[in-house]
């Protein structure tokens, strides 16, 4: 209604445009539900079509809204002409298509390594330069499969980190469907271990089964627990909590940073918490942690939805301070839903502890 009449391309073009919009409208929900289809071949095709449609439809909505706002300004200023109306109507879907295409390329490329130095007061000399490689929000599922994860594992292993943290939302689907595609995780390797905490999407996909599967692959699952690693007489604690909303699915999984830290040796010099959602940060700071590693937000994944993340989370991405604790929020290593990233690049994070 907002674009087709102003394109002035004739009734046949308008009819075709309406059919395309109807097709998009149907494909989006069908794509989201495609994992329930019994025929895997068709479910994959429908997933790709529906999720690409979702990404394009989202950008088309935004460009149409922006166009209307610009036309209002031009009308008030007295600069609006039929040519401007016509060209802007043609331009809106072209811009949406361009953004969707660029977003697809950004989403499907291998995440780049982002190096982050975290200054810790009174950092023991034995822990200077201690490195943790973080991956988060990979979302193995309808459009992210074994080759995509395999490339991530290869890049993470090449970093030579002291420890590796997988901070939740690893999967979107059941163990039965996705076990083959998560196998590359078994190759993750670090001297001090590979650690995993649950995200909210694990609870949508059968958390208990995935916890067992991740353990089978050789990762250490931290469910309100911690481990202590020692370097040159200095002690480092790596703790993990279940997802912030886990108690809604399994009351026994209630996220509890204090419980995760309970019983730590008194000589622990640095306390690191793995928590999927940034919302855990206040409780983590009160529990005495020095650093929290989180994900969940995807950095908004693509504009303008990054502007809405602060409505639910205290931070969108990057390194922030909560009282005496640092919290780092990864933009995610994969993506959820539409294979699209625009203005929020994916990342594999290498966090290093340095003296303050």
Query: What does the pLDDT look like over 275-323, one tens digit per residue?
Result: 999 999 999 999 999 999 999 999 999 888 888 899 999 999 999 999 9
Stronger pLDDT, 29 or 234, i.e. the higher one: 234
What's the confidence (pLDDT) of residue 186?
98
Q: Diameter of the chain by CA atoms? A: 78
The mean pLDDT value of the chain amounts to 94
Which domains are present in the chain? 4-108 (no CATH), 112-355 (3.60.21.10)
What is the rounded average pLDDT of the residues 201-229? 97
Whether residue 40 has pLDDT greater than 70: no
Stronger pLDDT, 333 or 23, i.e. the higher one: 333
Tokens of 36: 């329930």
What's the confidence (pLDDT) of residue 195?
98
Distance of CA 241 to the CA centre of its chain: 18
What's the confidence (pLDDT) of residue 61?
92
The dihedral formed by the CA atoms of 24, 172, 346 and 58, expressed in degrees to the nearest 10: 20
Q: Which among 42, 86, 41, 44 has a CA at the least distance from the CA of 67?
A: 86
Where residue 37 falls among pLDDT bands split at 50, 70, 90? low
Q: Which among 142, 134, 115, 113 has a CA at the least distance from the CA of 46?
A: 142
Whether residue 1 has pLDDT greater than 90: no
What's the confidence (pLDDT) of residue 29?
85
What is the rounded average pLDDT of the residues 334-345? 95
pTM of the full predicted structure?
0.93
194 neighbors 188 (Cβ within 8 angstroms): yes
118-172 pLDDT per residue, tens? 999 999 999 999 999 999 999 999 899 999 999 999 999 999 999 999 999 999 9
What is the rounded average pLDDT of the residues 97-104? 96
């Amino acid at each position: 209604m907002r674009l087709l009449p102003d394109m002035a391309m004739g009734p046949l073009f308008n009819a075709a445009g309406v059919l395309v919009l109807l097709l998009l409208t149907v494909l989006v929900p069908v794509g989201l539900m495609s994992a329930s289809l019994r025929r895997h071949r068709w479910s994959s095709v429908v997933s790709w079509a529906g999720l690409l449609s979702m990404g394009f439809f989202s950008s088309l909505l935004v460009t149409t809204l922006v166009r209307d706002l610009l036309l209002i300004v031009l009308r008030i200023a007295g600069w609006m002409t039929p040519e401007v109306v016509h060209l802007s109507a043609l331009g809106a879907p072209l811009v949406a298509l361009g953004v969707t295409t660029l977003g697809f390329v950004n989403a499907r490329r291998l995440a780049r390594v982002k190096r982050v130095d975290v200054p810790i007061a009174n950092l023991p000399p034995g822990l200077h330069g201690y490195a943790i490689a973080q991956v988060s929000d990979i979302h193995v599922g309808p459009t992210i499969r074994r080759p995509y994860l395999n490339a991530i594992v290869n890049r993470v292993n090449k970093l030579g980190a002291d420890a590796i943290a997988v901070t939740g939302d690893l999967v979107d689907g059941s163990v039965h469907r996705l076990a083959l595609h998560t196998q590359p995780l078994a190759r993750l390797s670090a001297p001090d271990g590979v650690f995993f905490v649950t995200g909210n999407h694990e609870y949508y996909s059968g958390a208990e089964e995935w916890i067992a599967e991740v353990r089978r692959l050789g990762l250490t699952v931290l469910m309100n627990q911690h481990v202590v690693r020692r370097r040159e007489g200095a002690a480092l604690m790596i703790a993990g909590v279940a997802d912030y909303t886990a108690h809604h699915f399994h009351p026994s999984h209630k996220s509890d940073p204090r419980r995760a830290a309970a019983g730590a040796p008194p000589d622990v010099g640095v306390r690191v918490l793995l928590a999927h959602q940034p919302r855990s940060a206040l409780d983590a700071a009160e529990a005495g942690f020095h650093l929290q590693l989180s994900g969940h937000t995807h950095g908004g994944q693509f504009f303008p939805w990054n502007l809405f993340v602060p409505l639910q989370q205290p931070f969108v991405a990057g390194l922030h301070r909560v009282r005496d604790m640092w919290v780092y929020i990864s933009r995610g290593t994969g993506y959820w839903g539409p294979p699209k990233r625009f203005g929020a690049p994916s990342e594999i994070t290498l966090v290093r502890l340095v003296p303050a």
